[in-house]
Amino acid sequence: MNSGKRLYFRGGLNRFTYVCVFLLFLYQNYVNAQNSDKPKEVTNTFSAKCQCDTTTGKILSGYNVVIKNGLIENIGKGISAPYNAKKIKADSMFVYAGFIDCFSHTGVPKTESKDQPKISDPGNPPNDIAGITPQKSVLETYKSSDKSIGDHRSSGFTMVNAAPRGYMLPGQSSFSTL
């Protein structure tokens, strides 16, 4: 029999310690395999009692909005939240339903086309003839009374990025609400 002596393996570790270290490594791999760095995607949202601003300028108070897969699915007062929707208390928030035009000439009147002057070196024209005019700003030519603004608004657009008229690099644009 063993009279109080412990059995050690090489290096001074006993069998129990080897088993514990081995199980610890197995458990660590199992835990790491369960983590996911990808966040869960929210596809349905329910906004309760929000203020809805229509394209006509009328504000609807206390309406519920259901957004499914990034699109407004339903708006109304008696709508209940879908079971899988993220619920947002939106009593102090505004909802603007409308399109955004990322690049247009809305509000910029058309200029009369004039003949291009003769250039002595056609491969190296001046910047304004080539259409490179970064010094221009849409704020210099934007007219809020232009017919194109009403046309865009009636088509459902609520915001535009208006740029000056020109060729390759027409100038500095600006976002504008309609």
CA atoms of 28 and 71, how far apart (whole Å): 42
**Mean pLDDT across the chain, nearest whole number?**
81
Question: What does pTM read for this prediction?
Answer: 0.48
Give, for 154, the enclosing helix (H) or strand (E).
helix 147-154
Q: Where in the chain is the domain with CATH 2.30.40.10?
A: 44-98
What does the pLDDT look like over 89-98, one tens digit per residue? 988 888 877 7
> Looking at domain 44-98, which of 2.30.40.10, 3.40.1280.10, 3.20.20.210, 3.30.360.10 is its CATH number?
2.30.40.10
Helix, strand counts (H, E) of the chain: 3, 8
Residue owning tokens 């058309």: 110
Over residues 143-173, the pLDDT tens digits come to: 988 999 888 888 878 889 999 988 888 889 9
Of 169, 51, 174, 165, residue with least CA distance to 101: 174
Q: Where are the beta strands (DSSP E) in 92-142?
A: 94-96, 99-104
Please calculate the CA angle 58-63-68 and round it to the nearest 5 degrees.
Answer: 110
